[in-house]
Amino acid sequence: MGFGVFIHRSDSVYDDSPAEQYQFPSQYLGRVRACLGDWIIYYEPRKVAATRGYFAVAKMAEVIPDPKAPGMYLALIEPGSYLDFINPVPFSGTEGVVERGVLNDEGRISGRAQSAVRAISAADFNRILALGLDEHQPELPRTGEQDAMLFNAGLDEGALAPFAFEQERVRVTQLSSRIIRDRLFRRLVVQAYDKRCAITGLKLINGGGRAEVDAAHIRPVEANGPDTLTNGIALSGTAHWMFDRGLISLSDDLDILVSRHANDPDSIRGLINRTGCAIVPTRAFERPHPHFLRWHRENCFKQ
């Protein structure tokens, strides 16, 4: 087992869904299998417009032949392991390249940097993950929220601490902590939506400086919904309640749908922003994915 870097392009011709599967040709089979049961980092190459660099982490569960494409294989991602970085990490920064393993003996970038699948050292993995999940200034909890988190965490030491690593070993166990993942997912979604509710359009900040908006999963974690930004949406408390209970939903074109079973549909429509469409980020890779919106309409929305 070992850590790896998988190149993923948003305009890829491969049948990739980073939170679920990664399609690749047989030439990379050995390298992919070397990552089985371990964590990989997704990287978008610099030649892609508006590249995200290193943008997510996930755990590889299985490798199988692609039943739909002869000669191709699928790396299956362990459900619930995928996590978008809250800070996309560029290939290089002020101190040079982040992934030191791509340098040759002369300190120059080698052809290895072009490999779609490559092994990565624990030190490089640690460095990229620390940058990608650096929370800077943690958001303040709502009144009473910190007490609730402490209660739910019990005596789990460090439950509220920022994402941390041991010096000699990457603390990948923290990547499975629901408390940590929820906190990181909230920050990711809230910052992408500029602290604004996608349904009402309201951007309310409380006296403590915290946005009064929730980070909602479109497909819930309990239903194997991943912690990816495309499965998230920023909602005010009331809109979140209605969304989870199927009183509102979204079309693939982001039109806001109101259930015919709502007892007061006119009041619900009065809460919706004047465009009638969800207010979402401008960049395509940050918007709700039709795959998750379709799941919500089919499994939650009371049509």
Q: Write the pLDDT tens digit of every residue in 26-59.
A: 999 999 999 999 999 999 987 766 678 999 999 9
> Region 104-110: what's the mean pLDDT?
92
Region 88-114 average pLDDT? 91
Phi, psi dihedral angles at 75 (to 5 degrees): -95, 115
Task: Report the phi/psi class of residue 273: left, alpha or beta, with left for phi > 0 and alpha for psi in -120 to 50.
Answer: beta
Q: What is the pLDDT of residue 217?
A: 98
123-157: pLDDT as tens digits: 999 999 999 998 875 554 444 444 444 334 333 43
Q: What is the rounded average pLDDT of the residues 266-289? A: 95
> Given this model, what pLDDT does residue 48 score?
63
Measured in residues, the chain has a length of: 303
pLDDT of residue 49: 64
Q: What is the pLDDT of residues 185-242, one digit of tens each?
A: 999 999 999 999 999 999 988 877 788 899 999 999 999 999 999 999 999 999 999 9
Average pLDDT score over the chain: 87
pLDDT, residue 151, reads: 35
Question: Does 283 score more than 80 pLDDT?
Answer: yes
Taking residues 261-276, what's their average pLDDT? 95
Residue 38 in 3-state DSSP?
Answer: coil
Start-to-end Cα distance in the chain:
47
Provide the pLDDT for residue 211: 84
Q: What pLDDT is attached to residue 175? A: 86
Q: How confident is the model at residue 170 (pLDDT cuts 50, 70, 90)?
A: very low
Q: Tell me what pLDDT residue 157 has.
A: 39
Q: Do the Cβ atoms of 22 and 43 come closer than 8 Å?
A: no
Q: Which residues of 91-127 are buried (b: 16+ CB within 10 A; e: fewer)?
A: beeeeebbbebbeeeeeeeeeebeebbbbbeeebbbb
Tokens at 251, concatenated? 């079309």
In whole angstroms, what is the distance from residue 290 CA to residue 294 CA? 6
What tokens does 135 get? 């929370």
pLDDT at 166 over 90: no
Q: Which residues pair with 178 in a beta bridge?
A: none
Token pair for residue 98? 């982040």
β-pairing, 96-97 vs 248-250, is unpaired
Of 229, 210, 208, which is closest to residue 219 (Cα–Cα)? 229
Give the pLDDT score at 138. Answer: 52
CA dihedral 45, 47, 51, 56 (to 10 degrees): -10
Predicted structure pTM score: 0.83
DSSP E strand stretches across the chain = 4-7, 21-25, 39-44, 53-65, 72-77, 83-89, 92-93, 96-97, 117-119, 214-217, 232-235, 248-250, 256-258
- Sorted by sequence, the CB contacts under 8 Å of residue 53 that are 6+ apart come out as 43, 44, 46, 88, 89, 90, 91
Q: Compute the average pLDDT of residues 106-112.
A: 91
What is d(CA 117, CA 277) in angstroms, rounded to the nearest whole number? 39
Higher pLDDT, residue 164 or 282: 282
